[in-house]
């Protein structure tokens, strides 16, 4: 099952709203606030790479107040 971790930079003060929206997206399995360069990390699992790409591109990246993202696709899980 294709899996990716999406690191998200949010507009200042908008993190909570983005987190709530992320948690309502069906294929987002986890979403958390983090400290550091990024504000939020989300774990996404899909049935195919195409579906994974669709969720990141058309759902997550287009959320209001998302400034930027970095997607790390899992190469191998243990």
| pLDDT one-digit tens code per residue, 31-70 | 999 999 999 999 999 999 999 999 999 999 999 999 999 9
Which of 65, 64, 75, 52 lies closest to 6 in space, CA to CA?
A: 52
The CATH number of the domain holding residue 54 is: 3.30.70.920
Range of the domain at 65: 3-73
14 in a domain, yes or no? Answer: yes
Phi, psi values for residue 44, rounded to 5°: -120, 130
Query: Residue 53: left if φ>0, alpha if ψ -120 to 50, beta else—which one?
Result: alpha
What pTM, to 2 d.p., does this model score? 0.93
In a domain? residue 27: yes
Domain tally, the chain: 1
């Amino acid at each position: 099952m294709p899996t990716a971790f999406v690191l998200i930079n949010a507009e200042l003060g908008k993190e909570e709203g983005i987190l709530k929206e992320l948690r309502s997206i069906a294929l987002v399995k986890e979403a958390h606030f983090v400290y550091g360069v990024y504000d939020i990390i989300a774990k996404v699992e899909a049935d195919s790479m195409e579906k994974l790409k669709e969720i990141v591109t058309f759902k997550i990246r287009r959320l209001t107040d998302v400034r930027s993202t970095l997607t790390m696709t899992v190469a191998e899980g243990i």
